[in-house]
Amino acid sequence: MIKYKFTRYFENEVLRKRPYIKRELCIEIIENPIRLKNKKKIDGDFGGLLKNLKNWVFRVITLNDKITIHNAFPDRRFKI
């Protein structure tokens, strides 16, 4: 089992501003993504469809190591 880490930004800002996002939710998305993108500055960009939250698609951003979660948010423009 992978031990995931979280940035200070995620702990202090993301979880505070978006109380519906939980650490477990982000880990679930990383482990079962529906799409994976790579970006220049931030290497991991995972999207996951979550049926328990109105079929919203959430995007989880990780650092280059792909185990440190930096950001998570609902992505209304995500196309499946």
- Does 66 fall in a domain? yes
Q: Is the dihedral of CA 40, 19, 6, 32 positive or negative?
A: negative
Q: Indicate the helix (H) or strand (E) that contains 67.
A: none
- Does 80 fall in a domain? no
Count of structural domains within the chain: 1
> What's the pLDDT score for residue 47?
75
pTM of the complete model beyond 0.85: no
- Does 25 fall in a domain? yes
Check if the beta carbon of residue 44 is closer than 8 Å to that of residue 36: yes
Q: What string of DSSP letters covers 1-21?
A: ----EE-HHIIIIIHHH-TT-
- Does 60 fall in a domain? yes
- Does 37 fall in a domain? yes
- Does 79 fall in a domain? no
Domain range holding 21?
A: 5-74
pLDDT tens digits, one per residue of 4-59 = 999 999 999 999 999 999 999 999 988 888 877 766 555 567 777 666 667 778 88
- Does 24 fall in a domain? yes
In the numeric block, which tokens belong to residue 62? 């990780």
